[in-house]
Amino acid sequence: MAAASSGLILGIESSCDETAAAVVRRGAEILSNVVASQIPIHSPYGGVVPELASREHLRNIVPVVRSALAQAGVTYQDLDAIAVTEGPGLAGALLVGISFAKALAASLEKPLIAVNHLEGHIHAVLLEEAHGRHSARQPALSDPEEAKRAKGESKEPALLALVVSGGHTHLYLARMHDGAWAYRNVGRTVDDAAGEAFDKVAKLLGLGYPGGPWIDALAPHGNPEAVPFSFSQIKAKAHRKGDPGALDPAEATYFSFSGIKTAVLRYVHVHEMEASIGKRRAALAGLADPKPSDALPLCDRRTLDLIASFQRSVIDDLRRKTFRAAERFHVDRILVSGGVAANRELRVRFTADAAENDVAIAFPALALATDNAAMIAAAAWPKFLGREFAAASLTAEPSLALGSPA
């Protein structure tokens, strides 16, 4: 089957609040990428409500998959495999995608491929690099087939991937070895994810959901040096004993973002900002489809300075620790992916640091930074070539980890 294949993989993603399906050729060329967002459903609650997410996935999965095939101009029979997110994510949400993908693969008699959502985020960047090389007819070293063919290139140098989203803040050393990707987890958050901090701070300031794009849009209007926030250094040792997610202390990078949220809350109390926040929240709630531009005239200088300072502090912490890890592991290539990688100031500051440190840096296109299924289909391609197929017993793994911790 693989020998004569045209390399068409249908990816399905339903781990959180987006129902997504995409058709990707040979892990590099996106033929379609359909995302049904549930933002309007969860917005009134200021966060994802798991039961509502499962219900919406059930409602959306069939039309989303159908339109992914239609937009790609392919039929079910043309597909070579079905790839689906196995975890991490919300159990009920994951199960919708997995059950659908399993049924589809069984009825079409096509292989089923299980993909880790975090690996998907990394491949959002790799797929674009592979596509660029294909079109330029250069050897695509992130394409396992070509990598295997390239003489003496069975082991590539490692790259460092920062996956920074609403649910995760992770650093991975990623390396392709004999056509398969291997990951080592060398950094993680001990509490909130960076995107979660954006979401919580936006919520407590009376802005919309999810908070990242609101803070991104409002931050340039404030002074990022107005409010000094500090990040404590987190000792690896403190997160070793009895911690199943503990990393090797010799190489671990730990992030922590719950403190800054508390610091913002304290700042709000001290400066008695509650009344103006309440007014802003009510004004935005009265709009049918509120946008960050609606919030701008509702924010005073102090609020804009607070937003800018919060964003600068989070980005600086991510930036400092990521580049320190790159130096420690002697890598000369960094990828930043996940929803927070859509942030404009993050891209500018990481790019400047990369130039200064003589390190290559890459981000996904904006549409591929947040959750999507093209990244799942792309991550499945090396597994398809390696015939790494999922068993019929595949089920949701809400706490699935990526790679070895040491």
State which residue, 82 or 342, has the beta carbon closest to ligand KG4. 342
Cβ proximity of 350 and 357 under 8 Å: no
Smallest distance, ligand KG4 to C-beta of residue 234, A? 21
Smallest distance, ligand KG4 to C-beta of residue 18, A? 7
Contact flag: residue 199 with Zn ion (CB under 5 A) = no
* Single residue of 371, 375, 377, 402 touching Zn ion by CB under 5 A: 371
Chosen from ligand KG4, Zn ion, none, partner binding at 263 (C-beta under 5 to 8 Å by type): none
Smallest distance, Zn ion to C-beta of residue 186, A? 19
State which residue, 56 or 371, has the beta carbon closest to Zn ion. 371
Contact flag: residue 342 with ligand KG4 (CB under 6 A) = yes
Smallest distance, ligand KG4 to C-beta of residue 166, A? 3
Site stretch for ligand KG4 (CB under 6 A), options 23-31, 143-151, 163-171, 323-331: 163-171
Look-up of token digits 């781990």: 15
Q: Which residues contact 235 (CB under 8 A, 6 or more apart)?
A: 254
Within 13 A of 160's CA, how many CA atoms are on the CB side?
A: 25
Contact flag: residue 165 with Zn ion (CB under 5 A) = yes
Residue list 187-246, contact with ligand KG4 (CB under 6 A):
195, 198-199, 210-213, 216
**In the beta sheet, which residues pair with residue 162?**
171, 336
Nearest CA to 194 out of 174, 215, 208 is that of 215
Phi, psi of 114 (to 5 degrees): -95, 130
Site stretch for ligand KG4 (CB under 6 A), options 35-43, 54-62, 237-245, 336-344: 336-344
State which residue, 144 or 292, has the beta carbon closest to ligand KG4. 292
State which residue, 79 or 314, has the beta carbon closest to ligand KG4. 314
Smallest distance, ligand KG4 to C-beta of residue 80, A? 26
Smallest distance, ligand KG4 to C-beta of residue 213, A? 5
Residues that bind ligand KG4 (CB under 6 A): 16, 165-167, 195, 198-199, 210-213, 216, 338-340, 342-343, 370-371
Residues that bind Zn ion (CB under 5 A): 165, 371
